[in-house]
Structure 1
Amino acid sequence: MNTNQNTTNNPQPAMAGQSCVVILGAGESGVGAARLAQQKGFDVFVSDFGIIADKYKAALEKLSVPFESGQHTEERILNATEVIKSPGIPATAPIIKKLVAKGIPVVSEIEFAKRYTNAKTVCITGSNGKSTTSLLTYHILKNAGLNVGLAGNIGKSFAAQVAEESFDWYVLEISSFMLDNMFAFKADISVLLNITPDHLDRYDYKLENYAASKMRIIQNQTANDAFIYCADDEETLKAMEGIELQAKTYPFSIFKAIEKGAYLENDTIHILTEPNKEFTMSISELALQGKHNIYNSMASGIVAKVLELRNETIRESMANFKNIEHRLEHVAKISGIDFINDSKATNVNSTWYALESMTTDVVLIMGGVDKGNDYNMLKDLVHSKVKAIVCLGKDNKRIHDAFEDDVEVIVNTFSAEEATQIAFHLAKRGDTVLLSPACASFDLFKNYEDRGNQFKAAVKEL
């Protein structure tokens, strides 16, 4: 397969002044897309099958963009010239099926926004670590004096920034759901951190379908572009088989020396993208600790070296970076017990990374909406590090089934406050209470942020 030729049907973009752009979903990306589409002269209509949050309603009203909430008026939507879809809406949704049947192009906000900027992009995807790596990469580029924005799956929408800002570079965190509706888009620098089972309910429960979606990060890249990937990740290597790569490649590994890319040797990261221009840094100096964060730091470091940033700037930025909220966030130490908020761990692999970085006995709070999880990969770590599991979710049967032979205590709870109090009583001085759910949050919470914030509030009430 030649990655210059995207095998998915490439929709023709709508032209301003003669067409209606319909936006499905009125969250951050949808409202940003409405702002940009209106600015570019399109007739715009926004439709959200759910209830639109007040702040987004107010933003649409300020723009005088017509919208509907709690319904889809099919007649109006199916007359669109082009549809910009929220990443959260699956291809199986009835309205999407009808649009596809009519041949109406359905694209992501990222695809739409890129048409209207000449800025270069660093696009970061992966099942785990993409938020942290995106933030670290942005931190390094900003510290180096680049005129850079941060968007995608994080922060303010890409489309809104294209409408309102004039950045030379963007660091974009890109999910598989976004990639599914990106066609002509091209990353100047693409980063694929890893591929592990996640969101398989959206991909017919087939890992190869999900992996193929992740590989779209390299579509349309040329010999002038860069592709950065983990040479230790088996699923990434498998997904790359048979693909004719156009971009320059920069692998990274913690197990073997890499000639052009990054590797770990004697607890020191080595990054080399050009002959005689090596960057080295001891992992003890990194702000981000833990094996998974060595990978994240390597990926960001390669981006910086590809852009020929100064070693001093890279080193300083990697040493003083502060990580994202809800990702292995230290909340408090109470009665000698550490409380860690890792609510952003919405899949099994993220929880594996969290447990792998723990150096004490753990009381693990986990559970929520199970996305087809395979808990087998956690069993060894749970057996060796976890003294009790506190389930936080409406249906905890699969967690009980998976770990009943590995821990003595598994308790069911149905609120962050209850889970926190029980975990506190199960822990003793020197232990860690770790919220790392391995599941989505929508059964009991608005989102992972709400879950993390409720946990932090409950810890402070102890």
Structure 2
Amino acid sequence: MNETNNISSTSAPSPLERAGERLVVLGAGESGVGAAYLAQQQGYEVFVSDFGAIADKYKAQLQGWNIRFEEKQHTESEILNATEVVKSPGIPEKAPIVKVLRAKGIPVISEIEFAGRYTDAKIIAITGSNGKTTTTGLTYHILKNAGLNVGLAGNIGNSFAYQVATEKFEYYVLELSSFMLDDMYEFRAHIAVLLNITPDHLDRYDYKLENYADSKFRIVQNQTAEDYFIYCADDAETLKGVGKRTIAAQLLPFSIQKALLLGAYLNGEELTINTPNNNHFIMTITKLALQGKHNIYNSMASGIVSKVLELRNESIRDSMGDFKNVAHRLEHVADISGIRFINDSKATNVNSTWYALEGMPDGKVVLILGGVDKGNDYNELAGLVQKKVKAIVCMGTDNSRIHAAFDGEVAKIVDTASAFDAVNAAYKLATKGDTVLLSPACASFDLFKNYEERGEQFKKAVMEL
């Protein structure tokens, strides 16, 4: 394919153009296009390169802003003269263009790192293997309802960089993946939250849990004694990481297993929070909008953030009581013939599925599993499957490892290769009072574009029953 066929020709110099400073953006999704706009606003010469096809929406934005771009290729002559490169978190280190950039010593950073340079807003940064989307959404909900001027970004919402370029928020709540954290160096979180560390994405970390954990702990780098680090005191890997580091921030743990002087803990049925500024908060857990043990942890983390910011208790309670979870994360779809259908398509690893099952009734779950297996150890689910699950519906192109793990452990396992077939099979296996739970424990790329499409097709199939 001729290079010039895929490179846009529109270009307009910025009135603020920095002499000799050229920013290249790899990946033209939400984060990349946002970074390109902010870079142009800040006076860089900007070029965007995507090895795949660029969605029409983003192509139109780049053209409207007169930002040069290419798709379906990486042209080295356009990229290797960069002063700095902003890389999409989805591009792995093993990608050839990234290897060349590293070899040449050209700085490669994330959109979050880049955007963080151009805002003086207070940053609440949230990471973890599981629960970060829910906790980020809940924290944003509490802050916004309390009247704070707050933005939502990272893995959720609109591009952080684009918001920095176009808004004047005083606070940001950011959901950060390990891939984002890997390319962050000077970024500082005023309040950092680490929910948990369980095996995930290990193919990006040489299959070593300690490498993945190190990535998660990058969230505390650059914090000072004026900042706060909120973490789960019941999570073994997190405690191991805290133990081997000197963390400058003030530590605020949370636990459902033991009482804590500072942070959050359970006192019977009461979620109790104490923060260093003598702020105290109590809420009965039965009044939380998010139920289940894992969601008590999520609510604790959000609650600590709220009390660090000295929000009113009444406002926090109202927000924690009326929050609606994000789509595809333990999302109630419908009750049909007395059977409850739950969409947990965002559960792309075993631990997420474990959390989902943990909150389900004993012996009454028809579980839909399967997809692209990332090296899953299904043994972690064995105890919960025996206790909670009456049947498994496999939804994937290769279900052999699910069969190997659970044949003989549940009464029935069936194979399907579409959301429609999976829902219909589950409906036939379920009886009144049961729950059909889509919580795949796998990535979606064998049958779907992403977990969102998987969840939407599941919901559509349910509504067609």
The aligned residue for residue 141 of structure 2 is 139
Deviation at 1:50, TM superposition (A): 1.1
Q: 1:438 and 1:421 mapped to 2: Cα distance?
A: 20
SS in 1 for 2:304: helix
Q: Of 166, 170, 184, which residue of structure 2 is paired with 1:168? A: 170
Deviation at 1:154, TM superposition (A): 0.3
Which residue type is aligned with residue 126 of structure 2? I
The aligned residue for residue 93 of structure 1 is 95
Deviation at 1:275, TM superposition (A): 6.5
Partner deviation per Cα, 1:377-422 (whole Å, 9 max, x = no partner): 1001111111111111111111111111311222111111111111
Q: 1:428 and 1:310 mapped to 2: Cα distance?
A: 45
The aligned residue for residue 208 of structure 2 is 206
| Identity between Structure 1 and Structure 2 (%) | 71
Which residue type is aligned with residue 32 of structure 1? G
Partner deviation per Cα, 1:33-71 (whole Å, 9 max, x = no partner): 011011111111111111111111111111111111111
Q: Of 415, 425, 442, which residue of structure 2 is paired with 1:412? A: 415
Q: 2:36 and 2:381 mapped to 1: Cα distance?
A: 43
The aligned residue for residue 426 of structure 1 is 429
TM-score, structure 1 as length reference = 0.96
Q: 2:75 and 2:277 mapped to 1: Cα distance?
A: 59
Deviation at 1:119, TM superposition (A): 0.7
Q: 2:403 and 2:92 mapped to 1: Cα distance?
A: 30
The aligned residue for residue 250 of structure 2 is 248
TM-score, structure 2 as length reference = 0.95
Q: Of 373, 377, 389, which residue of structure 2 is paired with 1:386? A: 389
Q: 1:132 and 1:356 mapped to 2: Cα distance?
A: 17
The aligned residue for residue 371 of structure 1 is 374
Which residue type is aligned with residue 215 of structure 1? F
Deviation at 1:429, TM superposition (A): 1.2
The aligned residue for residue 70 of structure 1 is 72
Deviation at 1:28, TM superposition (A): 0.4
Q: 1:35 and 1:124 mapped to 2: Cα distance?
A: 25
SS in 2 for 1:299: helix
SS in 2 for 1:112: helix
Partner deviation per Cα, 1:187-242 (whole Å, 9 max, x = no partner): 00000000000001111111000000000000010000000000000010112222
Which residue type is aligned with residue 380 of structure 2? M
The aligned residue for residue 10 of structure 2 is none
The aligned residue for residue 12 of structure 1 is none
Q: 1:209 and 1:310 mapped to 2: Cα distance?
A: 39
The aligned residue for residue 444 of structure 1 is 447
The aligned residue for residue 458 of structure 1 is 461
The aligned residue for residue 228 of structure 2 is 226
Q: Of 47, 53, 56, which residue of structure 1 is paired with 2:55? A: 53
Aligned pair 1:338/2:308, yes or no?
no
Q: Is 2:279–2:310's contact at 8 Å kept on the other side of the alignment?
A: no
Matches within 5 A, 1:148-159: 148-159=150-161
Which residue type is aligned with residue 278 of structure 1? H
Q: 2:278 and 2:55 mapped to 1: Cα distance?
A: 53
Q: 1:61 and 1:226 mapped to 2: Cα distance?
A: 42
SS in 1 for 2:368: strand
Q: 1:195 and 1:16 mapped to 2: Cα distance?
A: 41
SS in 2 for 1:380: helix
Q: How many pairs align? A: 448
The aligned residue for residue 351 of structure 2 is 349
The aligned residue for residue 260 of structure 1 is 262
Q: 2:433 and 2:255 mapped to 1: Cα distance?
A: 33
Q: Is 2:142–2:316's contact at 8 Å kept on the other side of the alignment?
A: yes
User: Which segment drifts farther, 185-194 or 363-372?
Assistant: 363-372
Q: Is 2:277–2:308's contact at 8 Å kept on the other side of the alignment?
A: no
Q: 1:422 and 1:51 mapped to 2: Cα distance?
A: 36
Which residue type is aligned with residue 18 of structure 1? G
Aligned pair 1:105/2:107, yes or no?
yes
SS in 2 for 1:338: strand
Partner deviation per Cα, 1:68-101 (whole Å, 9 max, x = no partner): 1111112211111111000000111111010000
Which residue type is aligned with residue 215 of structure 2? S
Q: 1:423 and 1:246 mapped to 2: Cα distance?
A: 51
Partner deviation per Cα, 1:282-338 (whole Å, 9 max, x = no partner): 000100000000000000000011111111111111111111111111111111111
Q: 2:38 and 2:82 mapped to 1: Cα distance?
A: 17
Matches within 5 A, 1:269-288: 269-274=271-276, 276-288=278-290
The aligned residue for residue 191 of structure 1 is 193
Which residue type is aligned with residue 411 of structure 2? E
Q: Is 2:366–2:430's contact at 8 Å kept on the other side of the alignment?
A: yes
Which residue type is aligned with residue 400 of structure 1? H
Matches within 5 A, 1:281-320: 281-320=283-322
SS in 1 for 2:326: coil
The aligned residue for residue 31 of structure 2 is 29
Aligned CA RMSD, in angstroms, stands at 1.0
Q: 2:53 and 2:421 mapped to 1: Cα distance?
A: 29
SS in 2 for 1:437: coil
Q: 1:365 and 1:454 mapped to 2: Cα distance?
A: 13
Q: Is 2:365–2:434's contact at 8 Å kept on the other side of the alignment?
A: yes
Q: 1:225 and 1:275 mapped to 2: Cα distance?
A: 13
SS in 2 for 1:141: helix
Q: 2:408 and 2:398 mapped to 1: Cα distance?
A: 19
Partner deviation per Cα, 1:418-454 (whole Å, 9 max, x = no partner): 1111111111111111000011111111111100000
The aligned residue for residue 7 of structure 1 is none
